[in-house]
Structure 1
């Protein structure tokens, strides 16, 4: 439902310049046809790019294994890995630069231990050293960003912004903002058409019409495929908007108002005063420490990592965890679970390094509903939450979006007028002035609703306003030409 209208514009609206018919609910449909057409024609290129880049990004786990398998995987030797302190010491012997930022234990028995170093010249990125947990031998190192390999980081930035910075991020927000409008509008148009012109059956909605030919067959493929993909496309639109630049800021305000943020772990040791510069910031980003600072602290004893891990395991934290040393003498160690596959585990504990006791804890079960939905939505959008099944579903949705975009443009081309051997490049747009056929109650509800959506989704609102301005200017030009004629 993402490229163009599913209705012949010449049959749904009067010709341009003609007096509109009386107000009726058919006017709402005509307005949807016009909106769906223009949004599809102009936004579909953004959707196509997002689908193509998202399709490639979906398989980054397999690509990482293909490109960086020597660093990421090891051959399992025995059942007991070497002490964590020994693995850290081996990593620091091979890479003495920078300072220890964190250590991530293996997620699977064949995975390496990750020793993350904060190196000033890398800026916000880190140097991750990969250690064989069974032999304590260094397997290699990579420059990582938030734990992601260089390839995953590059593909992620391609999908988010086409490597064009904040300007490029607008493309993704345009795609995510308009995707749900196209899906909902397309569903309304197709379901309404099915009731009036095809058999009143589920098959008439879900399956393309094999007997149709030409533009009708293309429209049938476009719409039926869109119905099957609707839930997936709406999910991608909603989750993509939550971390976009402008709509994401609005979503953050909603979380603030609803107190829907994840609980912060208190890393201040009992009886200690928080450090004036690093206290709150360290607590808020405990799971992502290690972004180079002006002054690098001295490395803690590798044995302290072992002690903190033992305490966290005793407190019930299983699976892969990230251990982050304290920022200063008044702060605790942070041990956080990093299991993004369902059923997820995101518990965290703060550990007193002197006493080996847990001083604070946050539990995934205690997260507010909005925080849980946001966290799970991001993991589902990235293809992580349900493993390979999640990746396959995302790949199918991306391929389907590419197909319905192609069919949408094909419909536009198939409707081009043919006169005396001359063919236009594309079909005519639906006639203007359809809003004058919309019932007044629908306008009274719709206009404030659209204004509210424009505030909540600023990029959607601005592009819609641009459509309206261009439409008004086009109408004035047509009227001027008609008057001169």
Structure 2
């Protein structure tokens, strides 16, 4: 009786082992394909992101000659005087005035010349000296930020953000399955062997992925708001259609067609927020309250140091004060009527809807701002971990790769296991449409490659 039972269970156990092996091969194959697709981009994101975490510290070093100034007690030029000095150095129209966030930092004036792009003029607010005139948003920090978001390469390449983010999440999910202990003693939380052996790099890759996996998912999800497809749709969903403001904010004033993001740095939630407008001068010949009064009003309202003021560019324009410090609770946007100084819109982080607040918290943490230096250090370690994941994957593949061949992980013996795996991957593709599109392309390429291999084998002489 015992012999009969053992004889019947042996084939069943063998079949189960084959099924597990087939699923492992399928997951491994697509983990490999995903890595092949995104690793060059994820290395770029990790390097630029790690640098950008310390943007303020680095800018003070790289641009110390025009960003830092020596404070002088009881001596500060009025905003209008600072603008006059800036316009002498760079003729044009002033579109934005940015107050320093600290006493030892200079004041930035953004000018639109008659021709060409905007220029930034840095002025010592104590002496009136012109410290620098350069293209707007051309500092080291802005350069790294644009590299990180692929903005330098146009709107098309920016879609890579969504593709990489979606695949990074799927790679973590498949990576956890590949890491999952299956009776082995090493390579789970320890590293075996020496750098000369493949198992060393396999374990480095697995253990690093285990430690950084949750952070990678967090960074991928919180980086998605900047993507051009998913981010734009979620922004509209989070903020409704109330002129681009969060749906919980009542906006009962006339709106212009200008967007806040076109005039000043803004939060993700308010990128599409429209700027209010006035009805023009209340009486013929009425004058604007002027920048000096507007700045004084914003200061009296408690806007944090470092706020920007977008100046009205037409008779129906407004003064728009905005500030986005590391402390989320102090984020704020205020619009004033340029003639009366009347408050038109005043909103802060607390006015965002639940989804908007969650996303803003995620974005703020993604940028290393929420928890101070600890936030920066932790994310820097994660960025280093991501680079190590990529390097170890490349070395591991190179050591495993058969001579003269690409070394794609083998197909499972039962192709049906692909169906369930691709369904799971497809769910991620639905959530992130561009990731789903690349999934379809990769499936087509994989099927085409398999067909080509079978065709070559069929033509070989027996």
TM-score, normalization by structure 1: 0.75
* 2:263 is equivalent to residue 279 of structure 1: no
Q: Is the 8 A contact 1:260 1:369 kept in 2?
A: no
Counterpart-to-counterpart distance in 2, 1:156 and 1:212: 35
Instruction: Quickly say closer, same or farther: Cα 1:82–1:235, change in 2 above 3 A.
Output: same
The 3 A distance-change label for structure 1 pair 369 and 49 is same
Deviation at 1:176, TM superposition (A): 2.4
User: Within 2, Cα distance between the matches of 1:73 and 1:212?
Assistant: 46
Q: Name the SS of the counterpart of 1:362 in structure 2.
A: strand
Q: How far does residue 428 in structure 1 lie from its aligned partner after superposition?
A: 5.2
Deviation at 1:387, TM superposition (A): 4.6
Deviations 1:230-262 (A, max 9, x none): 122112212232212333344345436698964
Residue from 181, 185, 188 that aligns with 1:198:
185
Distance 2:288 2:64 in 1: 26
Matches within 5 A, 1:337-356: 337-339=323-325, 341-356=326-341
The aligned residue for residue 218 of structure 1 is 201
Q: 1:165 to 1:331 in 2, by over 3 A?
A: closer
Corresponding position of 1:138: 130
- Within the candidate set 409, 416, 428, 1:436 is matched to 416
**Whose relative contact order is higher, 1 or 2, with alpha carbons under 8 Å and at least 6 apart?**
1
Equivalent residue runs for 1:413-428 within 5 Å: 413-417=398-402, 423-424=403-404, 427=407
Q: How many residue pairs end up in the alignment?
A: 427
Match of 1:114 in 2: 108
Change (3 A) 1:197 1:183: same
**Structure 2 counterpart of 1:310, from 293, 296, 309:** 296
Deviations 1:310-357 (A, max 9, x none): 222322323222122234444432222232x13452222222344444
Equivalent of residue 78 in structure 1, options 48, 73, 87: 73
Is 1:471 the counterpart of 2:446? The answer is: yes
For structure 2, the residue ranges without an aligned partner over 5 or more in a row are 1-14, 267-279, 281-285
Q: Any idea what SS the aligned residue of 2:101 has? A: coil
Give the superposed CA RMSD.
Answer: 3.6
Matched, 1:152 2:141: yes
Q: Is the 8 A contact 1:454 1:460 kept in 2?
A: yes
Distance 1:453 1:416 in 2: 29
CA contact (8 A) 1:347 1:361 kept: yes
- Residue 224 of structure 1: CA displacement? 0.7
Report the TM-score when normalising by structure 2: 0.79
Q: How many angstroms does 1:195 deviate by?
A: 4.9
Match for residue 92 of structure 2? 98
Match of 2:169 among 167, 176, 180: 180
Is the 1:129–1:142 contact (alpha carbons within 8 Å) kept by the matching residues of 2? yes
5 Å matches for 1:335-484?
A: 335-339=321-325, 341-417=326-402, 423-424=403-404, 427=407, 429-432=409-412, 434-437=414-417, 443=420, 450-484=425-459
- For 1:50, the equivalent position in structure 2 comes to 45
Q: CA deviation at 1:473?
A: 1.9
The range that moved more, 365-374 or 280-289, is 280-289
Using the alignment, how far apart are the partners of 1:478 and 1:377 within structure 2?
46
Per the alignment, residue 37 of structure 1 pairs with 32
- Structure 1: any 5+ residue segments left out of the alignment? 1-19, 290-296, 418-422
Inter-CA distance 482–260: structure 2 relative to 1 (3 Å threshold)? farther
Q: CA deviation at 1:223?
A: 0.8
Q: Aligned partners of 1:359 and 1:138: how far apart in 2?
A: 34
Contact 1:247 1:458 in 2 (8 A): yes
CA offset at residue 90 of structure 1?
2.6
Deviation of residue 174 (structure 1)? 3.5
